[in-house]
Structure 1
Amino acid sequence: MENTWQYQGAQPIKIKKFLQSLGMGHRLFNDLKNGQGKFLVDHRKVRPTTKILPNQPLTIIAQPELRDLSVKLSDAPLNIVYEDDNWLVIDKPAGVTSIPGPTVDNGTVLNRAVHYLVEEKSADQRPHLITRLDRYTGGLLLIAKHHVASSMISQQVQQHQMLKEYTAFVSGIFDKEHDIIDKPIARREGQVQRVIAEDGQRAVTEYWVEEEGADWTKLRVRLHTGRTHQIRVHLASINHPLIGDHLYGGDTSKYQHQALWATKLSFKDPFTLKQLTFSREINEIPDKKIK
């Protein structure tokens, strides 16, 4: 994989510092430095300690990642929304698992993505899921097509700089049109459910009311942290569980899994330095109208 940036600063800068400013992690830089890649300035190979001058192009060439043979191939649809040399944005259907596990070892997003890269004869055949969704949460999901992209975006993920919004249908009517839920979430040994607990990790969820029915509300929800089941736990904690969410007390009489979709995803592309924004509309629970 080859990527090039042009340094726009006013003063000379070391390659490492420049790449770190773009988001590259220490591990990837060290891998490149220790023989798994090359650094080129003005198309000439240079040492990793070299300084770049203003307006000079820096190119990194990384060795490709070969396929992990333990991951089975699945030719099930990937539902691609956007693709370039570095990223895949897909629309994951509800009911599809993100990665293989003890109970599902094929047909997941990862199995499908590997198959896609193999079919495309990509040099890199080990995709990295940057965002993940619960099995029964559908919507937008970001995949890095190679390890350089995965490393370059990791800082945005860790610092919660990536904008992620969801559409949720919940039980009940809200008193407030907008609010922020700031409650710590904890895991309990042997339990799938997460709980609100003082010893948990801080979790912050923001919501806006978009539509109301007789006994239900459509919300736009934004995550400011990324805890497991965060939206589900937080909304249940204020007595507005997701419709269909059997795990957290939602009404399952009309819908059999949580009515939640990832509907907006926005991040700064560390390769082009442009903001990439993707969205999809959910106007009602698909195939199950709320009356």
Structure 2
Amino acid sequence: MQINWIYSEDVSCKLKTFLKKQGISRRLLAKVRYSDGKILINGKSGRKIDKIKKNDKITLVVPDEEFRRSVPPSFVPIKILYEDDNYLLVDKPAFVASIPSPLHPNDSLVNRVVGYYQIRGYRGIIPHIVTRLDRDTSGIVIFAKHRYAHALLDSQLKEHKISKTYTAILSGILHNNHYIIDLPIGRDSTSLIKRKVLFSEKAKRSKTEIFVEERIRDNTLCKIKLHTGRTHQIRVHCSYLGYPLVSDTLYGGTISMPLQRQALHCSEVVFWDQFSSQYIKVKSNISQDMMNYLK
């Protein structure tokens, strides 16, 4: 695939300086140079030390990609919320792993996207998963269609510039309408998978913001905004607050039929699209099992 820019500055600069400002990493440049890719200035091969001037056209030809290890396609249909040449946003069902693993090698969300790419006849691209959800959490997952798009969003993730909002049903009645939980999270030494609020050097700063939407019988429907992205962050913070997610048995909740998994759904993401110079905002309605529970 090709990515094109027109240099618009009045002052000339080196090609490598321009590419760095566009978020092109050294690793990606190495892939381009040594894997049949190209860097062109006005259609001619360019070097990193070359100077570019106003109105020059810079083209990055990114080589085709392949998985390092075979990922079998799954042809279970996916629900697409947004797609363009660079990004694919999918509505993940509950009980589907985000990525392949020894327990789920053939039908993770990545496997399903691989199958979708094959059906559509896409060539030379592989799914780059940008955001992941726990197997039992439903909602929006972002995929990048190539290395460069992935690098741009990965940078936004590290700087906490991708906005993610979740819908959750909490056990009990929250008395305030707004909470900010700014407490560090680390591994629970008694479990291979659990996390907990931990006041030690090994814990990482974690910030969660809760907005009460509705109080329904003995539960509270909330919108939850993540300001950091720690494993199980929402589940850990809500449990620590004393209001575990409905049916989240790992963190103190109890199964409440018909909901047989934690009541958590990624309902909105917003990120800056450098290709179109605009924000992309995608929403997802809560899953049917959560809706049935609320009814």
Which bracket does the TM-score occupy, shorter chain normalised?
over 0.9
Shift of 1:34: 4.2
Deviations 1:234-281 (A, max 9, x none): 111101111111111113122210111111111111222221111123
Whether 2:275 is the aligned partner of 1:276: answer no
Shift of 1:285: 5.1
Whether 2:274 is the aligned partner of 1:266: answer no
Deviations 1:81-107 (A, max 9, x none): 111111111101111110111211111
Q: Alpha carbons of 1:283 and 1:257: their partners in 2 closer, same or farther (altered >3 Å)? A: closer
Whether 2:249 is the aligned partner of 1:249: answer no
In the other structure, the counterpart of 2:194 is 193
Matched letter for residue 207 of structure 2: V
Whole-angstrom CA distance in 2 between matches of 1:41 and 1:83: 29
Answer yes or no: is the 8 Å Cα contact 1:160–1:224 preserved in 2. Answer: yes
- Secondary structure of the residue aligned to 1:286 is helix
In the other structure, the counterpart of 1:155 is 155
Matched letter for residue 70 of structure 1: S
Deviations 1:163-186 (A, max 9, x none): 111111111122221121111111
Answer yes or no: is the 8 Å Cα contact 1:124–1:146 preserved in 2. Answer: no
Q: What percentage of residue pairs aligned between the two structures are identical?
A: 38
Within 5 Å, give how 1:154-173 maps onto structure 2: 154-173=154-173
Whether 2:225 is the aligned partner of 1:222: answer yes
Worse-superposed segment, 224-233 or 14-23? 14-23
Whole-angstrom CA distance in 1 between matches of 2:102 and 2:287: 35
Whole-angstrom CA distance in 1 between matches of 2:289 and 2:105: 28
Q: TM-score when scaled to structure 2?
A: 0.92
Deviations 1:159-217 (A, max 9, x none): 11111111111111222211211111111354211111112111111111111112111
Whole-angstrom CA distance in 1 between matches of 2:193 and 2:60: 43
Answer yes or no: is the 8 Å Cα contact 1:98–1:135 preserved in 2. Answer: yes
Matched letter for residue 216 of structure 1: N
Worse-superposed segment, 158-167 or 69-78? 69-78
Whole-angstrom CA distance in 2 between matches of 1:165 and 1:288: 21
Answer yes or no: is the 8 Å Cα contact 1:66–1:123 preserved in 2. Answer: no
Matched letter for residue 142 of structure 2: L
* Structure 1: gaps (5+ residues): none
Matched letter for residue 143 of structure 2: I
Matched length: 291
Shift of 1:116: 1.7
- Secondary structure of the residue aligned to 2:292 is coil
In the other structure, the counterpart of 2:178 is 178
- Secondary structure of the residue aligned to 1:167 is strand
